[in-house]
Structure 1
């Protein structure tokens, strides 16, 4: 743990943390990433991304995220970052040095077809996790959402798009009737123009 008070991480702090996290690597250049979300995010050379939490709640979520990625990585055929080093950078605050994946953040660019397909595979992998594995990760439990209002909103939007000729025939009817049940032992899937999501 770096001996500093929590605050906005500086380049000097980041370089010190990177030296401690990657002691055998040549000291890489570091630069802040504009879209960090709830983290302070920094590029570390061309291979890594450093994310530092700024709140204790974020630190708890980051720990769960690292564990969840390790489990999901074995179940999906999509790139999932690897945490090559992680720990605490201030009392109650954590960091992770992740491998950098190719591509751009969806916050800065429109999601490409390849990215949409990767996201569908990750979501399908998450949905397929056995309950025992999920419980072991300490993920918070939530009651299933009532999808009726969401389906009604989607049907209204689809009707408007249908009037403009922007959606295939029959989509509104499928939204209105709900998802088709799956045979026992098989997954249910929905297909977009670019990918399928199964659950």
Structure 2
């Protein structure tokens, strides 16, 4: 990873977390146990604090940032989809934020909620636990079922396992010139896309 200390504050990464080498961590960043930080993610703790709690993941090209003295937090088992932007907001426990969603300053997303792909969550927004949040500007559309939350939890467990897999076996390499005749596949882990709140 690319890691920078700023004003005497050095990012903290728990030994069981995985941060991709192309991710950038700056200043007051705290990454907890079992977290996954994907390629090209940018976590900039140059004004406020950035926190990923235990088991959270933030995927490829995501950005976490905030205004001075703010905390941008993803609570335990939070799941942040590709390209999402979190700015000075609080993402509750077990929340899914979909691809390319934007969550603005002071917003608080209740536990076990989904923020749909491409949603724009305005500053100061809040929602109850287990809400489906959609649109631009985002609104609560309905409550989520326990089955939908269970589906999200299964996806998050896969990212927690991915952190372990990357720590154990991800290595830089040169590409092959052609496909091997007996090329195996990465095991199908049983996940299938479902609904509009894509991971």
Q: TM-score, normalised by structure 1?
A: 0.22
Structure with greater helix percent: 1
Name which one, 1 or 2, has greater alpha-carbon Rg.
1
Of structures 1 and 2, the one with the larger relative CO (CA 8 A, separation 6+) is: 1
More strand by share: 2
Structure 2 length as normaliser, TM-score? 0.22
